[in-house]
Structure 1
Amino acid sequence: MDYDRGKRVFNRLGPSSDNNRSHNNNYNNSNNNQKVCYHWRAGNCTRANCTFLHHEVAGNGAGASKRPYNNGFATEDHRASNVRRGGSSYVNGANTWGRGGGRGGNGNGNSNRAVVVKNDRVCKYWVTGSCSFGDQCKFLHSWCTGSCFAMLTQLEGHQKVVSGIALPVGSDKLYTGSKDETVRVWDCQSGQCAGVINLGGEVGCMLSEGPWMFVGLPNLVKAWNVQTSAELSLNGPVGQVYSLAVGNELLFAGVQDGNILAWKYNTVTNCFEPVAALQGHSAAVVTLVVGANRLYSGSMDNSIRVWNLENLQCLQTLTDHTSVVMSVLCWDQFLLSCSLDKTIKVWAATDSGNLEVTYTHSEEHGLLTLCGMHDLESKPVLLCACNDNTVRAYDLPSFMERGKIFAKQEIRSIQGGPNIFFTGDGTGEVRVWKWLADQSATPA
């Protein structure tokens, strides 16, 4: 195929009727390139003998049309890819997973929240401001789909992937960390960068707890008090610190060598003192979460370990994932985990107290991080970043899709706030999103 002033030009096959065979033969001996009818593409051509093509072909006619619509109607080949996964509405208090017809369900629901798009990709010409098709473009002219959230603004300044985002409670500052070895401080009112902290090492993770900010660095955890400006260095890690968590008055750090180090703050000496090193993982610990008096750790060794917060002993090792466990999350009495094996697993305790998988949700791509929060109606929503540069938003527990966020590169950090949330991607860009009232809900 050729390109003529930005518009696609296809090889015309020529008329097929007997009356036009001689005319068609003349075309065989001349240049027979013709344009596809613009109005036919839009589904509203009314000319009986239109001089432009009313079909699109590739090469010499082999293969099906590449257009997702045929005179305004979706073809069978494209309906499945152009209609969002839907399902039954979320039922408050229900603990039955996957009833929304997500990828792990039957996919045949008829929810009003089903989102229909022309093509599930952002228009690359729209990104550069040069798309000439406008509303008729078959690609998205938006960084998200769905009606439950919208982008407020974007914060630019980091030069590499954003690996940590923290919003301290009661603070008017947002902190973002990156592999460009800096932490940027943003004013929440103006959206302007209020300061840049050079750390001399790649930021692997960030965490805010009370007045304290913690940053995971190579061979070090940096801590500073945002109220008193006190700054401390916690030594002991061997390699990059990938994950941080706080529980039972202890700070935990997941490290590249497979250890989990624990510190406790001493109010007398005003410093964090080492307490223990939790050993058992054979590869880097990339995710930590605390819940139900337990510490849960996910590792590059494909396993999740469950630790007792009182005696710091390992209670159970979960090995159902077949690739790196990238993120773990506690929701009510459940543990959720995601992996590069393209699954999200939901775990629940049995009568014996051990965790077992109660539901597995499958995606088409590997998963990078999970973040749970509530929408404006206080319904739980799970945000799942995938390595296809998207974030999916799902209702819990139905796993019914609410919308999708697109990015230029993989989103590695998601952080919730009051009625807003933040995403950071591989280009160094941080975006601020706000929750919207559910426009698809039927008034009572």
Structure 2
Amino acid sequence: MRQHAIETNWRSKPIRSPKMLKGHDDHVITCLQFCGNRIVSGSDDNTLKVWSAITGKCLRTLVGHTGGVWSSQMSGGTIISGSTDRTLKVWDAETGNCIHTLNGHTSTVRCMHLHGNKVVSGSRDATLRVWDIETGSCLHVLVGHMAAVRCVQYDGRLVVSGAYDCMVKVWNPEREECLHTLQGHTNRVYSLQFDGVYVVSGSLDTSIRVWEVETGACKHTLMGHQSLTSGMELRNNILVSGNADSTVKVWDIVTGQCLQTLSGPYKHQSAVTCLQFNNRFVITSSDDGTVKLWDVRTGEFIRNLVALDSGGSGGVVWRIRANDTKLVCAVGSRNGTEETKLLVLDFDVDSNTGAVIARTFKTSILLMLLATFKNASFVYSRPERRGVPQGGRRLPPFFQLYCYVPGQNSLSVRDSSCFICKK
């Protein structure tokens, strides 16, 4: 019931003024992480900032890099960043202290992937390095690419990397061995996804390739985009790809079939910069200054979640991150027409709004009624049971409860044997 209300909010709730988080001045926000109620933004101003998604306040500014921050990862209270200063840094998100500086790369750290207590970094020096973030030590160096490493995935067992040499490589990091070199792309590889069974690579050659990780064989070549595939996301054999040609496509990687093309009259007017999806929605951002919401099953355009006034004249949404109830957007411009900032949109259920229509229920049957959306309490009545449930309290006689649910009826209960119990 709560999930349905949240989904309805994403689809149709009037979008009020989002929280604006300012702090990187006129620099570009190059990387964005969102976990729990904490947001981390990295910038070419050499810093990272930790924000509260609830209050919008900047909690910490992480200072220490001497070059722009171009990659980051976050897990729990730990943040890892990679920079043009050729180092990675491990930070305590609570204190803002730098725990370790990881030295070894000889050029920009362009990408990374964190799994457990290990992070794999890819650099413009054409190498990858495996680090222990608890000790700060470099465990392994993976050498084999002939040009800058642009993207990396790591599942704790295998490392997969894509580079400007047009190659995708599968590595056993413990043995520092390249198991497969996946050849087929004719231009730079910019994006990767890896689920343990399949590797999916996106390239400037306009194609997307699906590879079997165990054999290195190319299972499918997905054609249809007209330019660089800059972003992809894979889950449960469904791939969503965003392209510089302004379109987004939904694919079945097992069959190689394109299920949907998210385009039409409401499509983006410029390159897709970022995307995210779940089993209901696809969220996409673009150089045109918009963030759009689509139905992942039908390909239907639902609505614009963000539309910058400067869109089309320089305003850009660079990055997006979302959870069930919030959307975070990194906004800026190429020409100074849009201030650099983060926007936080909230689609959570508001328990203080909604229709009020009373319903009456007989107390001779079991009632399970949602009492408060925000703390997920339940009201039920069972006259034959007189004991107060553990963690609950008896409602006084003729107590009247109103539960406000956006788009739903309120619920009225009058009975002395009702209880409120935490879920």
Match of 2:349 in 1: 438
Q: Which residue of 2 aligns with 1:355?
A: 257
Cα distance in 1 for partners of 2:90, 2:151 equals 20
Q: State the distance in 2 between where 1:183 and 1:382 align.
A: 32
Cα distance change, pair 195–207 in 1 and its aligned pair in 2 (3 A): same
Deviation string for 1:172-192 (max 9, x for gaps)? 211122345343433222345
**1:42-81 alpha-carbon deviations (Å, 9 max, x no partner):** xxxxxxxxxxxxxxxxxxxxxxxxxxxxxxxxxxxxxxxx
Are the aligned partners of 2:240 and 2:277 in contact in 1 as well (CA < 8 Å)?
no
In the TM superposition, residue 287 of structure 1 has moved relative to its aligned partner by 0.6
Q: Aligned pair 1:220/2:118, yes or no?
A: no
TM-score where L is the length of structure 1:
0.56
Q: How far apart are 1:435 and its partner, in Å?
A: 6.1
Q: 1:113 to 1:426 in 2, by over 3 A?
A: closer
Matched, 1:165 2:75: no
State how far apart, in whole Å, the 2-side matches of 1:193 and 1:416 are.
27
Q: Which amino acid aligns with 2:71?
A: G
Aligned to 1:301: 205
Residue from 88, 95, 106 that aligns with 1:190: 95
Matched with 2:169 is 261
Query: For the Cα contact (< 8 Å) 2:11–2:303, is it kept in 1?
Result: no
Which structure 2 residues correspond to residues 200-349 of structure 1 after superposition, within 5 A?
Answer: 200-218=106-124, 219-231=126-138, 232-246=140-154, 249-266=157-174, 271-291=175-195, 293-348=197-252
**Distance of aligned partners of 1:211 and 1:349 in 2 relative to their CA distance in 1, 3 Å threshold:** closer
Question: Hey, what's the Cα distance between the residues in 2 that align with 1:434 and 1:188?
Answer: 23
Distance in 1 (alpha carbons) for counterparts of 2:344 and 2:16: 21
Change (3 A) 1:275 1:413: farther
Deviations 1:19-56 (A, max 9, x none): xxxxxxxxxxxxxxxxxxxxxxxxxxxxxxxxxxxxxx
Identity level (%): 21
Q: Distance in 2 between matches of 1:321 and 1:434?
A: 30
Determine whether 1:403 maps to 2:305.
yes
How many angstroms apart in 1 are the aligned matches of 2:326 and 2:130?
A: 26
Q: CA deviation at 1:250?
A: 1.8
Cα distance change, pair 433–399 in 1 and its aligned pair in 2 (3 A): same
> Aligned equivalents of 2:294 and 2:131: distance in 1?
35
Counterpart check, 1:369 vs 2:277 = no
Q: Name the SS of the counterpart of 2:227 in structure 1.
A: coil
- Shifted more, 338-347 versus 398-407: the winner is 398-407
- Residue 387 of structure 1 and its aligned partner are, at CA, apart by 2.5
Deviations 1:242-286 (A, max 9, x none): 1112359321100101001111133xxxx4322121110011111
Residue 363 of structure 1, CA deviation: 0.9
Residue identity matched to 1:400 = I
Secondary structure at 1:167 match in 2? strand
Cα RMSD, aligned residues only: 4.6
- Matched positions, count: 305
Change (3 A) 1:412 1:209: farther
Are the aligned partners of 1:327 and 1:368 in contact in 2 as well (CA < 8 Å)? yes
Task: Work out the CA distance in 2 between the residues paired with 1:257 and 1:228.
Answer: 32
Q: Write the distance in 2 (CA, Å) between the matches of 1:420 and 1:187.
A: 24
Mapped to 1, the partners of 2:307 and 2:61 lie a distance apart of 16
Cα 1:385–1:205 shift into 2, 3 Å: farther
Flag the 1:304–1:349 CA change in 2: closer, same or farther, 3 A.
Answer: closer
Cα distance, 1:359 vs. partner? 3.2
Aligned equivalents of 1:193, 1:422: Cα separation in 2:
25
Alpha-carbon deviation of 1:203?
Answer: 2.0
- Measured against aligned partners, the alpha-carbon deviations of 1:75-131 in whole angstroms (never above 9, x if no partner) come to xxxxxxxxxxxxxxx979x9xxxxx9xxxxxxxxx96424377xx9x9x9xx89xxx
Give the structure with higher Rg (CA): 1
1:156, distance to aligned residue in structure 2 (A): 6.0
The whole-number CA distance in structure 1 between the counterparts of 2:320 and 2:115 is 17
CA distance in 2, matches of 1:175, 1:156: 11
- Which amino acid counterpart does residue 218 of structure 2 have in structure 1? C
Q: Against the structure 1 CA distance between its residues 209 and 247, is the aligned structure 2 distance closer, same or farther, given a 3 Å change threshold?
A: closer
Tell whether the 8 Å contact from 2:249 to 2:259 is kept in structure 1 after alignment: yes
The answer to whether the 8 Å contact 1:291/1:330 transfers is yes
**Preserved CA contact (<8 Å) 2:199 2:212:** yes
Q: 1:422 to 1:112 in 2, by over 3 A?
A: closer
2:332, 2:274 → 1: CA distance?
14
Structure 1, unaligned runs of 5 or more: 1-89, 95-99, 101-109, 129-147, 374-378
2:286 aligned to which of 381, 386, 391: 386
> Which structure is higher in RCO with an 8 Å CA cutoff and minimum separation 6?
1
Matches within 5 A, 1:5-44: none
2:159 partner amino acid: L
Q: How does 1:65-84 map to 2 (within 5 A)?
A: none
Q: Distance in 2 between matches of 1:179 and 1:391?
A: 29
Match of 1:107 in 2: none
Query: What is the identity, as a one-letter code, of the residue corresponding to 1:181?
Result: R
8 Å contact from structure 2 (residues 262, 294) kept in 1: no
Question: C-alpha deviations, 1:136-156, integer Å up to 9, x for none?
Answer: xxxxxxxxxxxx987453746
In structure 2, the residue matched to 1:113 is: 13
